[in-house]
Structure 1
Amino acid sequence: MRNDKFWFSTIIVSSLLIMSLLLLMQIGFNPAPAQAQTDQPVSNVLSRTITVVGEGTANVEPDIAQAVIGVQISNRDLEAATSEAQQKMEAILMALQGQGVAEQDIQTANFNIFVERLPGPEGQLTDELLYRVNNDVRVIIRELDNISPVLNAAIEAGANNIYGVNFSVDDPSTGRAQAREEAVNNASSKAQDLARLANVQLGEIVRISEITGDRVIPFAQAEAFGGGGPIMPGQLEVTVRLEVVYAME
């Protein structure tokens, strides 16, 4: 009887030892998963950067001119004022097209009717009305040598309101590629100076963006037309500004 108890106890102890050993082996062959390495936060990367604004310019020759041409008629009779303004504008349009201005290059800029009370003999306002009719068109002149003939033809046809003569380029991208290249070089020069002053090494470009609202500045506006003197197109200065962020090594 004692032998049976002895063997029974031995079997239980052996089973517990085997189970413990198996458990230890399982833990040893299944280590805890390693934590994945994470990239350095973007905020830390951007904290070691140099940000500059580079500016570049390019000079281009204007190839089109624009002007506002119109007529102003005053009359105490509204119907008579509008009728006369219409007749003169039709004559102006025919004169413009006769000088080679295409129909798609003529666009109505203003059409206004103003009512004014006329003063009496002693300066007091009366019930008598004066109507002023303005009719203006914006004209694109694609042959710069033809500016004065176009304006003179409009005046002869009845135009008595001409203003806003200016020059531009038909393709807005003209000169901007050159200005961007100069802006990048300008930004690089500024960043190198800052890195030298800060005693750090300048790294690669982290971010680059173009600041909107690039400028086109005329070097010369129209001075006069007809008998008043020559019109000088001059040059246009195209300016591009870039914000460039460099890493510091």
Structure 2
Amino acid sequence: MRSFAFLVPLALGAALALPALADDRGTISIEGRGEVVAAPDTAVVNSGVTTQGATAREALDANTAAMGELINTLKGAGIEARDIQTSGFSVTPNYVYSDARDANGYTLPPKIVGYQVFNSVSVRVRDLPSLGTVLDKAVTVGANTINGVTFSVADPSALYDEARRQAFADARAKADLYADAAGLELDGIRSISETQGYQPPQPYMMGAVAREAAAAPVPVEAGELTFSINVSVTWELADDKE
């Protein structure tokens, strides 16, 4: 019994070690990066209307009328219904605070003196040259809040594919250099993994815009977008060069 218990672990250990000895090859892992720059072809604008009223109903009615006019104007400017989406809605009371105190010396609670209604929509502009005109018309009909403009490329697939080619070529060039310096050659690929990157231009912030400011199409610069791919590739290393 003692001899049998001693021999089994040795046999099992030898069997587990054999596959590692059969494929004990060196590897090299290298990262590559590819970048493609392109002009945007789409913009998203967040535009809204804020109204005040003595009652919530009064503020809401005013807001509903203004938003209806805004949406009709956007559609008249060529924006399709599918590209207009409600992005925010709120009804909040307006308070007035007082330093007056009650008989016990406690500060009196604030009083509601009116209500504010805010309603906003996200608008996708696919005809980028018309963006300035769309902004101008939105403000003209009562949009008193425009929180920003962001740009994008509607279909970046081809841009990312080109970035992938560049990233792999970059990784391969580095791996060839290291292998050559070590007197070795690259063999089969063990693994490839990637991460995507997207660097938009800074949003064009307009903030609250007064209606009186709308006298001409708003000047807008779209800039460029950067689409990048980082790739990590692991190669097996062949035997020493002959």
Q: Normalised by the shorter chain, which TM-score bucket?
A: 0.7 to 0.9
The aligned counterpart of 2:64 is 86
**Aligned match for 2:235, one of 220, 223, 246:** 246
8 Å contact from structure 1 (residues 118, 130) kept in 2: no
Structure 1, 193-202 or 223-232: larger mean CA deviation: 223-232
Question: Given the alignment of the two structures, is residue 133 of structure 1 paired with residue 122 of structure 2, yes or no?
Answer: no
**Aligned match for 1:151, one of 116, 132, 135:** 135
**Structure 2 CA distance for partners of 1:198 and 1:117, relative to 1, 3 Å:** farther
The aligned counterpart of 1:53 is 31
The aligned counterpart of 2:219 is 230
Segments of structure 1 that go 5 or more residues without pairing to the other structure are: 1-37
> Equivalences for 1:200-219 in 2 at 5 Å?
200-211=184-195, 214-219=196-201
**Aligned match for 1:69, one of 24, 41, 47:** 47
Question: Quick one: distance in 1 between partners of 2:134 and 2:21?
Answer: 60
**Structure 2 CA distance for partners of 1:220 and 1:187, relative to 1, 3 Å:** same
TM-score w.r.t. length of structure 1: 0.74
The aligned counterpart of 2:126 is 142
8 Å contact from structure 1 (residues 70, 134) kept in 2: yes
TM-score w.r.t. length of structure 2: 0.76
Question: Quick one: distance in 2 between partners of 1:93 and 1:120?
Answer: 40
The aligned counterpart of 1:31 is none
Question: Quick one: distance in 1 between partners of 2:217 and 2:129?
Answer: 16
8 Å contact from structure 1 (residues 56, 181) kept in 2: yes
The aligned counterpart of 1:163 is 147
**Structure 2 CA distance for partners of 1:143 and 1:177, relative to 1, 3 Å:** same
**Structure 2 CA distance for partners of 1:223 and 1:158, relative to 1, 3 Å:** closer
CA deviation after TM superposition for structure 1 residue 167, in Å: 1.1
Larger radius of gyration: 1
CA deviation after TM superposition for structure 1 residue 197, in Å: 4.6
CA deviation after TM superposition for structure 1 residue 74, in Å: 2.6
* Residue type at the aligned position of 2:74: L
* Residue type at the aligned position of 1:87: A
* Residue type at the aligned position of 2:88: N
**Structure 2 CA distance for partners of 1:233 and 1:174, relative to 1, 3 Å:** farther
* Residue type at the aligned position of 2:221: M
Question: Quick one: distance in 1 between partners of 2:65 and 2:160?
Answer: 44
Question: Quick one: distance in 2 between partners of 1:41 and 1:124?
Answer: 80
The aligned counterpart of 2:5 is none
SS of equivalent residue, structure 1 residue 175:
helix
**Structure 2 CA distance for partners of 1:114 and 1:128, relative to 1, 3 Å:** closer
Question: Quick one: distance in 1 between partners of 2:51 and 2:22?
Answer: 66
Q: Percent identity?
A: 28
Segments of structure 2 that go 5 or more residues without pairing to the other structure are: 1-16, 101-106, 207-212
8 Å contact from structure 1 (residues 223, 229) kept in 2: no
SS of equivalent residue, structure 2 residue 177:
helix
Question: Given the alignment of the two structures, is residue 183 of structure 1 paired with residue 167 of structure 2, yes or no?
Answer: yes
8 Å contact from structure 1 (residues 221, 234) kept in 2: no
CA deviation after TM superposition for structure 1 residue 228, in Å: 8.9
8 Å contact from structure 2 (residues 29, 235) kept in 1: yes
**Structure 2 CA distance for partners of 1:43 and 1:173, relative to 1, 3 Å:** farther
Aligned residue pair count: 209
Structure 1, 128-137 or 159-168: larger mean CA deviation: 128-137
Question: Quick one: distance in 2 between partners of 1:201 and 1:229?
Answer: 59
CA deviation after TM superposition for structure 1 residue 39, in Å: 8.8
CA deviation after TM superposition for structure 1 residue 218, in Å: 2.8
